[in-house]
C-alpha cells in the first residue's frame, strides 16, 4: 500500500510539471509572436520614395503625360491603401507593387485639384514626391466639311473632347444660332448645322471646364468671292465634260467628277477673272498667313494617285504635289487644307490668273472622286 501511494504522488507531480511546461510553451510562443510583430512593424516602417523613372529605368523623370507608364522606386511599399496622382486615386488592381517598386500607367483623366504630387498611403505612414502630370490642351481644328448644307450633320475635328467633359447636353454656336451636340468622341464632336445658317458664319464651342468660348478654325461656307474658284460660271476651266450637278451630291452647285484611270495626267485648268485680287499674299512675309482649301469626295479609296497643284507664274509655274494616299472620305465631302507656304514663291516675279491641277499616278489606278470649291483663305 505505501508503494501505491508513493506512485500516485509521483504521477500527480508529473501532471503538474506537464501543465507548467505547456503554459510556459504558450507564453513563450505568444512572446515570440509579439516580438515578431514588433520587428515586422519596425521592418516595414514609413514608406519613402527615392525617384521616379521610366519603366526601363533608363532615366529619372520629373514629369510625364497621360497614359505614360512610370516606375516609382523607394522602400517599405507594404500594405498600400491608396496611390494618388494629384487628387486622382489609382485602381490598385492595375498597379504592379513590390517592396521597393511601384509601376503603373498614368490614367487619362484630368484632376480637379492639382498639387503636382505622387502620394503613397500605407498604415505605417505616407510618402510624397513632386511630379508633374502634363495636361493636354483642348485642341479645336475645323469642320470636317466647311460646305455642309444647312440641316445636315457635320463633325468638329480636334482632340481631347472627352477629356474636357463635352457631352450631349452641350451646344455648338453657329453665329447666333445654336445646335445640340449629339455624339462625342475623343477627336470629334457631331452636330447638325442649324437651318438658315448664313454663309461665312463663325462656329464656336464652349470649354466645359474653363467656360471659355473657343473658335472653330475656318468659316462655315467661306464664299468670299475673290478667294473662291467654283465650277459655277466663275472663270474658265478645261475638261468641262466632267462637271456634274447641281444634284443630290451638290454642296455648292456644280462640281468636278472624275471617274477613270489617273495615269494620263488629267488636268483641270482654272482661269478666273481674278484668281487673287491681292497678289501680295504670295510675298514671303505674307504667305504663311494663307491656306488653299477645297472639298473632295471619294467613292473608293485611292492609294497612289496624287495631285500636282500649280500657280501660273513667271519665270516658272510654282508647283506643289499633294500626296495624301492612302485617302478615303467614305463617300462624304471632306475639306482639305494646305498651307500656302508649301509652294515656293521665292523666285517668282509675277503671279498670273491661272491655276492647274494635274491628277497623277505612278501606276494605273481606277478612280472615282469629286472636287469643289478651290479657294485661298486667310488662316485663323
From CA 360, how far away is CA 304, in angstroms rounded? Answer: 8
pLDDT at 150 over 60: yes
pLDDT score of 41: 46
Residue 12 neighbours by CB under 8 Å, 6+ apart: none
pLDDT score of 305: 82
Residue with cell 498611403: 121
Write down all domains in the chain, each with its CATH number in brackets.
48-134 (2.60.40.10), 139-215 (2.60.40.10), 225-378 (2.60.120.430)
Residue 240 neighbours by CB under 8 Å, 6+ apart: none
pLDDT score of 7: 38
pLDDT score of 4: 42
pLDDT score of 269: 74
Cell of 240: 468641262
- Which is higher by pLDDT, 41 or 322? 322
Strands 203-206 and 213-215: antiparallel
Tell me the per-residue pLDDT of 228-271, one tens digit each, with 9 for 90 and over.
Answer: 667 775 555 666 667 888 999 999 998 988 888 776 566 777 76
CB 290 within 8 A of CB 378: yes
pLDDT score of 301: 87
CB 375 within 8 A of CB 313: no
Tell me the per-residue pLDDT of 272-308, one tens digit each, with 9 for 90 and over.
Answer: 655 667 778 888 888 999 999 999 999 998 788 888 8
From CA 359, how far away is CA 229, in angstroms rounded? Answer: 18
CB 76 within 8 A of CB 117: no
pLDDT score of 9: 38
CA-nearest of 176, 141, 166 to 156 is: 141
Give the chain's mean pLDDT: 86
Query: What pTM, to 2 d.p., does this model score?
Result: 0.82
Q: How many CB atoms sit inside 10 A of residue 82's CB? A: 12
From CA 289, how far away is CA 281, in angstroms rounded? Answer: 8
pLDDT score of 240: 60
353 CB-contact burial (10 Å; exposed 0-12 / middle 13-18 / buried 19+): middle
Tell me the per-residue pLDDT of 5-15, one tens digit each, with 9 for 90 and over.
Answer: 443 434 445 66
pLDDT score of 325: 76
pLDDT score of 152: 98
Tell me the per-residue pLDDT of 207-232, one tens digit each, with 9 for 90 and over.
Answer: 999 999 999 999 999 987 656 667 77
For residues 174-185, give the mean pLDDT: 98
pLDDT at 38 over 70: no
CA-atom Rg of the chain in angstroms? 36
CB 195 within 8 A of CB 358: no
- Find residue 192's DSSP bridge partners: 153
Instruction: Work out the pLDDT band at 156, boundaries 50, 70, 90.
Output: very high
Strands 101-105 and 96-97: antiparallel
CB 157 within 8 A of CB 148: no
**Torsion angle, CA of 52/55/59/62, rounded to 10 degrees?**
-30
CB 160 within 8 A of CB 92: no
- Find residue 101's DSSP bridge partners: 73
From CA 166, how far away is CA 185, in angstroms rounded? Answer: 9
- Which is higher by pLDDT, 350 or 174? 174
Q: Is 173 helix (H, G, I), strand (E, B) or coil?
A: strand
pLDDT score of 2: 45
From CA 147, how far away is CA 249, in angstroms rounded? Answer: 12
- Which is higher by pLDDT, 84 or 374? 84
- Which is higher by pLDDT, 187 or 1? 187
From CA 295, how far away is CA 375, in angstroms rounded? Answer: 10
Tell me the per-residue pLDDT of 334-361, one tens digit each, with 9 for 90 and over.
Answer: 999 999 999 998 888 888 777 888 888 7
Amino acid at each position: 500500500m505505501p508503494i501505491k501511494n508513493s506512485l500516485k504522488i509521483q504521477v500527480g507531480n508529473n501532471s503538474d510539471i506537464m501543465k507548467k511546461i505547456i503554459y510556459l510553451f504558450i507564453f513563450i510562443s505568444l512572446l515570440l509572436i509579439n516580438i515578431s510583430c514588433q520587428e515586422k512593424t519596425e521592418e516595414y516602417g514609413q514608406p519613402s520614395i527615392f525617384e521616379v523613372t521610366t519603366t526601363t529605368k533608363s532615366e529619372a523623370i520629373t514629369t510625364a503625360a497621360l497614359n505614360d507608364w512610370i516606375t516609382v522606386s523607394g522602400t517599405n511599399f507594404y500594405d498600400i491603401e491608396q496611390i494618388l496622382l494629384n487628387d486622382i486615386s489609382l485602381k490598385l488592381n492595375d498597379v504592379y507593387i513590390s517592396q521597393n517598386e511601384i509601376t503603373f500607367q498614368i490614367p487619362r483623366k484630368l484632376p480637379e485639384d492639382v498639387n503636382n504630387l505622387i502620394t503613397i498611403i500605407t498604415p505605417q505612414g505616407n510618402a510624397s514626391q513632386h511630379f508633374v502630370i502634363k495636361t493636354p490642351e483642348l485642341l479645336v481644328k475645323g469642320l470636317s466639311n466647311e460646305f455642309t448644307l444647312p440641316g445636315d450633320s457635320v463633325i468638329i475635328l480636334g482632340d481631347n473632347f472627352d477629356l474636357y467633359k463635352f457631352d450631349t447636353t452641350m451646344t455648338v454656336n453657329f453665329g447666333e444660332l445654336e445646335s445640340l451636340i449629339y455624339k462625342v468622341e475623343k477627336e470629334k464632336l457631331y452636330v447638325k448645322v442649324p437651318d438658315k445658317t448664313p454663309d461665312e458664319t463663325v462656329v464656336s464651342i464652349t470649354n466645359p471646364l474653363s467656360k471659355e468660348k473657343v473658335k472653330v478654325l475656318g468659316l462655315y461656307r467661306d464664299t468670299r468671292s475673290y478667294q473662291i474658284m467654283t465650277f459655277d460660271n466663275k472663270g474658265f476651266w478645261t475638261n468641262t465634260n466632267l462637271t456634274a450637278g447641281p444634284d443630290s451630291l451638290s454642296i455648292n452647285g456644280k462640281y468636278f467628277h472624275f471617274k477613270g484611270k489617273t495615269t494620263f495626267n488629267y488636268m483641270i485648268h482654272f482661269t478666273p477673272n481674278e484668281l487673287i485680287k491681292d497678289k501680295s499674299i504670295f510675298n514671303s512675309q505674307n504667305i504663311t498667313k494663307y491656306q488653299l482649301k477645297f472639298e473632295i469626295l471619294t467613292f473608293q479609296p485611292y492609294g497612289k494617285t496624287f495631285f500636282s497643284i500649280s500657280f501660273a507664274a513667271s519665270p516658272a509655274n510654282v508647283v506643289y504635289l499633294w500626296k495624301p494616299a492612302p485617302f478615303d472620305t467614305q463617300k462624304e465631302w471632306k475639306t482639305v487644307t494646305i498651307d500656302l507656304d508649301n509652294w515656293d514663291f521665292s523666285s517668282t516675279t509675277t503671279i498670273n490668273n491661272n491655276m492647274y491641277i494635274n491628277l497623277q499616278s505612278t501606276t494605273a489606278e481606277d478612280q472615282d472622286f469629286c472636287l469643289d470649291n478651290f479657294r485661298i483663305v486667310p488662316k485663323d
